[in-house]
Structure formats: structure tokens, C-alpha cells
Structure 1
Amino acid sequence: MVNLPGKEDKAQYVQETFNAIAKNYDLMNTLMTLGLDKSWRRLEVKRAELKEGGTGLDVCCGTGMLTMELARAAGPAGRITGLDFSENMLEVARQNIRDFAFKDSIRLIQGDAMSLPFENNVFDCATVGWGLRNVPDIFKVVQEMARVVKPGGKVVSLDMAQPVTPVFRELYWLCFNRVIPAMGKLFSGNKKAYDYLHDSAKAFVHQKELAGIFARAGLVETRCLNLCGGVVAIVEGRKAF
């Protein structure tokens, strides 16, 4: 068990943690989700309603997998920006998009999700995948994402959630607690980082509460969509016209 950092220390802790595991992050994601992460990302992009030729922002973009899904949806005329705090994750993202068909549509930048370096109302949608549980202030990040999205645009999160069935929930967390850190040690040599991923996922707000945070940030039509019995969830909202 890892003692989760407080708000004042979380940014640095998260940056150091993801810098350390960047090289094997994609492999671990595939193993931990049994390959389902790909279909989940595609569904998130569908919920974001990004049209061909549109502009999208992927916050906490990591290794760029969700960023590339946005670029596929927007096509060659689209403009997609991926932003992340971790320079090592961004370096892996640059490698991932090197031979990608829509690489010219993607811009990757290092930045802080708590203070997005963009003007108001510039993106058709904003997404975040497995990122909100790692930020010091969830409300502030959702508020920032809403600020930079155009009126009518969607803000969509995909993240770990709280399983909805009691018995399944206990078995799931027991497995997560034992198996995932062990896999992290085996495949990345960093058990501590995957202890953190377990602990941060378990401590993350319930998906219904997250939908409430979206509403408090000024978004409308907020809802959550449980996947795999609530192991993960998509939470979304729309910026009012």
C-alpha cells in the first residue's frame, strides 16, 4: 500500500511516477485491461462527437493512444493537441505517432492540466483518459477543459471507476491489489508505481460523483456510462450554448 501524496505534493509525485514507467506504459495498459483499452478509447472518442476536420484536445495524453484515436476521427484536415505533464510520456507519444497516418494533424506539448495554455472556446471537444485521478484538483481541471471547449462541445473522461456489484467489487479490488503491482514489477521493474495506480484508482471519486463535478464546472447533459460492470467509466458533459 502506498500513501497517496497530498494536493501540494501530487503534481511532482505524479510527474516522477509516470516519467519512470513511460517506456512500458502501453504494454501494461494492454495487459491490465486484457486489450479492452483500445475499444474503450474508441468509445470515448465516439462520445466526444468529434467530426471530420474538427479540433480536439487530449489532456493528460500520456503516450498518445487516445490522441491518435481523436486524430483518426478528425481525419487529415483535423487538428488535435495532446498535452501532458510528463516529458518521458510525451517522448513515447512522439515515437508512437512517428509512422501514424495522421501524424501531421497532431501537436504534442508539455503543459499543466490545471492551467491549460489555450484561449477560451477553441476546441470542438476535450478528452482525458485515465488522467483525472492523478491531478491535484479534479474540479479545476474539468473547469479548464470546459473553458477551452467551444459552446456545444463535449468534455469526456475515461477512467477507473467503482464496480457496481458488491461481491464483484471486492474480488476486483483484491485482484487489482495483488496482481497489478506484481505485473508492474515483472514488466517494468517498478512495483511502487503500480501500487500507486491501484491506490489512486481505489481512492478515485465514484463515477456518479465525477458527473456531479462536471455539472458544478458548468457542463450540461452530464452522465456516466459504466463499462465492464463499473471497472471503468466514461463521464461526459456538454458546454452550454
Structure 2
Amino acid sequence: MDFAGKDKATYVKETFNAIAGRYDLMNSLMSLGMDKRWRRLAVQKVGAKPSMHILDVCCGTGQLSMELGQAVGNHGSVTGLDFSAKMLEVAQKSLLQASNLGNIQFIQGNAMELPFEDQSFDGVTVGWGLRNLPDLHQGLREMVRTVKPGGKVVSLDMAKPSLPGFKQAYWLYFEKLIPLMGKIWANKASAYQYLHDSAREFPAQEELARIFAECGLENTSYHNLAGGVVAIVSGTRPKE
């Protein structure tokens, strides 16, 4: 993948800073409006309940964090962490316009070195973020470190459909149409070319579940959405 002569972390940060203002619109367009339902399913999968404390890594514009906030209520808390200042600005503006979302805070930080003590959270989520990490295994190990025994780590991200015919049509759509949409709606075709390229290189859902296990989680599994275009992958930190 071409990062224009930059390391992946720098390239990704600059890319998401550039598209922050249109990120939510593009997500809705690309998913045909299904992204909100997918986030709700991820909230269910992590087991978010009132009074829980949940970490949302690579929170971006905070849409998943705010879904989690509804689940944990005013006696719980959600911490959304991202390294893109522009994405966090959008998240904070959205939070100010919302209500009844529990105790949510957004902080800027590095998913490779999470600024939290061991076993700080009842659950950890990451939405469309793992494929952007410079080291997938290190990022997952950090999430495992910060979740309590018995808590879940849940990823919602692009996956790889396998149905013949549909698979070919999907990748053609992704390769040709998505960058064009990015150029029209976000004035940044290269960012959405990166989305295609990173999805191509990202492990398939079956492989990602195996990597979850390698990083210390048990009962790992995946759940396909939209024919395997997107998948929820999860695992539980073993009880000590």
C-alpha cells in the first residue's frame, strides 16, 4: 500500500483529519444507511449494560461511543479515544447536540500505547479502526490489557464476502465507485482509495478471530453482516 513516502500512522492521521467533516455522511452513503444498525449490534455484542465502563478505541467521530453511552446510562461511562484531532472535534460537537447518553468523554491518544491502567474497563470496542493500526497484534494486546477478566473485546470492521458473484461485484464497486464518491462528497478520492486498499489487506474475519485468540482472548467468533461485507469479531478475556 502506498503511503506517499510516510509511515502508516502519519498517513492515516493526516487522511482522517482531512475527511473528518464528511466522514459520517460518507459512512451512511457507503453502507446504504445500515451503519447505525451495525453499531447497535456491536454494542449488544460487547454486552454494554447500565453502570458499565466501556472503552471505544479509534472512536473517530464518536458514533459508536454514543451508542454505547445510551446502553451504559448516566451511572456508567464511555471513553472514546482517537489520534485524529479533527475527528474528535466532530465527535465533541455531536456529543453537545445529543442528550441522555450517559457519561462520555473523548480523548486524544495512541491505540498502540493506551493511557489506561490494566483491567480498567468492562468492555472494549473498536469500530472500523483495527485495519488502520500500524501493528494489529500490538493494538489488540493493548485492548486485552485494559479490559477486565470476563470482559469482551469487539471489533466492527470491513470483512471479506465469499459468495461467488457477489464477492466480485462488491470488490468492483469498492474499487471503482467508492473513491469516486469520496472525490465528489469529501473532495478526497485518495482517502477512499486507501479505504479499499486497507480493506483488501485486512485479515478476513476467520483469520481475525484467530488473531484475537493469539492475543489472549477466548471464545473468539465472528458474525457476518451484509453478506460478509462487514463483520463483528469478538473475544473474551479469560477469568483469572
The TM-score bracket by the shorter chain reads over 0.9
Measured after TM superposition, the shift of residue 229 of structure 1 is 1.0
Q: Distance in 1 between matches of 2:74 and 2:183?
A: 40
Superposed, 1:210-229 pairs within 5 Å as 210-229=208-227
Q: Distance in 2 between matches of 1:222 and 1:127?
A: 14
State the AA in 1 paired with 2:140. V
Query: How high is the sequence identity, in percent, across the aligned residues?
Result: 56
Measured after TM superposition, the shift of residue 166 of structure 1 is 2.5
Question: Does the 8 Å CA contact 2:85/2:108 hold for their aligned counterparts?
Answer: yes
Of 66, 75, 78, 2:73 maps to 75
Which runs of at least 4 in structure 1 moved beyond 6 Å after TM superposition? none
Q: Distance in 2 between matches of 1:228 and 1:22?
A: 25
Counterpart in the other structure of 1:140: 138
Q: Which runs of 5+ in 2 are unaligned?
A: none
Q: Distance in 2 between matches of 1:12 and 1:69?
A: 28
Of 41, 47, 50, 1:49 maps to 47
Q: Distance in 2 between matches of 1:102 and 1:178?
A: 40
Q: Distance in 1 between matches of 2:111 and 2:100?
A: 24
Q: Distance in 2 between matches of 1:70 and 1:94?
A: 15
Aligned residues: 238
Question: Does the 8 Å CA contact 2:19/2:188 hold for their aligned counterparts?
Answer: yes
Give the superposed CA RMSD. 1.2
Question: Does the 8 Å CA contact 1:4/1:199 hold for their aligned counterparts?
Answer: no
1:36 aligned to 2:72?
Answer: no
Measured after TM superposition, the shift of residue 5 of structure 1 is 3.5
Q: Distance in 1 between matches of 2:117 and 2:199?
A: 31
Superposed, 1:125-164 pairs within 5 Å as 125-164=123-162
Question: Does the 8 Å CA contact 1:4/1:200 hold for their aligned counterparts?
Answer: no
Q: Distance in 2 between matches of 1:104 and 1:122?
A: 18
Counterpart in the other structure of 1:184: 182
Counterpart in the other structure of 1:203: 201
State the AA in 1 paired with 2:129. G
Q: Distance in 1 between matches of 2:79 and 2:124?
A: 9
Question: What is the DSSP-based 3-state SS (H/G/I as helix, E as strand, rest coil) of the residue aligned with 2:64?
Answer: helix
Counterpart in the other structure of 2:235: 237
Counterpart in the other structure of 1:95: 93
Q: Distance in 1 between matches of 2:100 and 2:54?
A: 13
Question: What is the DSSP-based 3-state SS (H/G/I as helix, E as strand, rest coil) of the residue aligned with 1:125?
Answer: strand
Counterpart in the other structure of 1:168: 166
* Cα deviation digits, residues 46-78 of structure 1 (max 9, x gap): 000011011000000000000001100001111
Question: What is the DSSP-based 3-state SS (H/G/I as helix, E as strand, rest coil) of the residue aligned with 1:118?
Answer: coil
Question: Does the 8 Å CA contact 1:226/1:232 hold for their aligned counterparts?
Answer: yes
Counterpart in the other structure of 2:7: 9
Measured after TM superposition, the shift of residue 228 of structure 1 is 1.0
TM-score, normalisation: structure 2: 0.97
Q: Distance in 1 between matches of 2:230 and 2:102?
A: 31
Q: Distance in 2 between matches of 1:164 and 1:49?
A: 28
Measured after TM superposition, the shift of residue 25 of structure 1 is 0.1
Q: Distance in 1 between matches of 2:170 and 2:208?
A: 21
Question: What is the DSSP-based 3-state SS (H/G/I as helix, E as strand, rest coil) of the residue aligned with 2:7?
Answer: helix
Q: Distance in 1 between matches of 2:48 and 2:84?
A: 26
Question: What is the DSSP-based 3-state SS (H/G/I as helix, E as strand, rest coil) of the residue aligned with 1:173?
Answer: helix
Question: What is the DSSP-based 3-state SS (H/G/I as helix, E as strand, rest coil) of the residue aligned with 1:151?
Answer: strand
